[in-house]
Amino acid sequence: MSLEKGYSNNQQDRKMRQPGDALLGDEEPLAAADEQAVAPPAKRSTKEFVRLLLDLTAITPVILGSIHFDECPALPSLTTFLIVFGLTCVSMGVARFVTRAEHPYYRSRARGRVMQAGGMSVVLLSIWGAVLTFPHTHRLSTSAPDGDCARSVFLPGFLSSVLPIGITGLLLLVIFVVICVKKSRKAARGPSGYQEV
């Protein structure tokens, strides 16, 4: 009798689950929801244009690195990092806008995977910037001399490194928490898959 009741409750629980529950142990993967998504409309949304404008702000490191190219002899490759990092971010932003790769319809397809790989290139570039700037964080102090490296070069380089690394670290922390919650829910259900009381 108790097994029948547990089976009935389990069936009812499946009907009440939301799409986001897949992160916490639902049997239906998120990829299946992406496959069932409809193609995006031909007309682009305001959100896509706003995202493009935000991505285009990454041209700032390119401008600063070009204008002050010879103003950081202490870290000669820092301006090169600013230019490469900025161009990569802008290129990815334009490609994301043109291909609409972040739409659920394309997320699990080839163009979405290519953009995800491009996102990893930004993280790798930020590690390059971290290797250049993190050992010299004393230059962030207002009392530090900047004759051998202009702050208009060092500060953008430092921020371009710490922001992607910080965001990536936060995402990894969220994934770790989700995995822990998923395991705890499985343990609470027991080996039979039913909720233990």
> Which residue is associated with the tokens 């161009």?
87
> Which residue is associated with the tokens 């739409």?
103
- pLDDT of 38 higher than 50: yes
- 155: tokens are 């500060």
- pLDDT at site 63: 92
Question: Of 20 and 90, which is predicted with more confidence?
Answer: 90
Task: Determine the residue type at 57.
Answer: T
This prediction has a pTM of 0.64
Express the helix, strand and coil content of the chain in percent, nearest 5 each: 75, 0, 25
Q: Are 150 and 136 in contact (CB under 8 A)?
A: no
- 81: tokens are 């990092």
**In angstroms, rounded to a whole number, what is the distance separating the alpha carbons of residues 33 and 83?**
38
**Span 185-193, mean pLDDT?**
70
Q: Other CB atoms closer than 10 Å to residue 121's CB: what's the count?
A: 14
- pLDDT at site 4: 46
- pLDDT at site 170: 92
pLDDT band at 178 (very low <50, low <70, confident <90, very high): very high
**Span 130-150, mean pLDDT?**
77
Ramachandran bin of 139, using left for φ above 0, alpha for ψ from -120 to 50, beta for the remaining angles: alpha
